[in-house]
Amino acid sequence: MKKLLVIKAGNTLAHLQKKFGDFEKWILDPLNIDAQQAMTRSVHKGESLPKYEELAGIVISGSHDMLTDHLPWMEETAQWLKGSVEKQIPILGICFGHQLLAYALGGLVEYNPRGAEYGTVPIRFSLVRTHDALFHSLPTQIEVQASHQQSVIELPDGAVWLAGSDGDPHQVFRYGPNAWGVQFHPEFNPTIMRAYITENAALLNRQGKDPVQIRADCRETAYGAEILNRFARIVFPDQGSKENTG
């Protein structure tokens, strides 16, 4: 049986991990798939990636590392991802994973010239999304949870731009038929989002942003879980549609 691979590119904050689990749990829970349908590889710890033939789909997690450090595991994973795109395995890159996917395909990733983007933010879709397998039928504007300092400054040649925000014009892109990058965190809830704002309050203050107000403005949004659940249906189409209870 082919499986969904979660490429784990880092660990969450220690106190969040103790209470809520780590990135892979937050990603897998809304997918509503059986545990035996998924595997996780912690590439930041040197774990090797499986053969493409074993995979039905791939999700790349966020990370506290910066892609511009170009650590060996990042470069190796980027090369592997390029091969997975060529084989048209469905892919969803999240935050760092979005950046890594773009970099693997020839895009440019740097520190966001608009500064760090944290909190519950609105993103706006292009009309192209009405024909997109993952984002079709979503409203033109939705709210999502954002937590990042670096961004995709230039999309890869051939990428389709799908959505942006005031803080980052490249929030969502697609490459080929079924490889997507999302700069936001569909796996975050408001509690997790507020913890990241608190953790980065000093940075936000230095950039002239108000972490207290950003925290206060955090709110629940159902779209993250819906997007993850939709991706699971692309990866495992024979299972049909399930109601998301995450």
Known catalytic residue at 95: yes
Q: Which amino acid is at 215?
A: R
Through-space distance between the first and last CA atoms of the chain, rounded to whole angstroms: 25
24, 44, 95, 218: the active-site residue: 95
Known catalytic residue at 185: yes
Please write down the long-range contacts of 200-209, taking CB distance under 8 Å and 24 or more positions apart. 200/116, 200/118, 200/147, 203/116, 203/149, 204/116, 204/118, 207/115, 207/116, 208/115, 209/115, 209/116, 209/118
Residue (of 40, 41, 110, 24) closest to 76 by Cα position: 41
> Cα separations (Å) of 67 from 55, 182, 232?
25, 15, 26
Encode 215-227 in three state secondary structure: HHCCCCCCHHHHH
143, 148, 185, 218: the active-site residue: 185
24, 117, 143, 187: the active-site residue: 187
Residue (of 199, 228, 218, 237) closest to 29 by Cα position: 228
Q: Which residues are catalytic?
A: 95, 185, 187
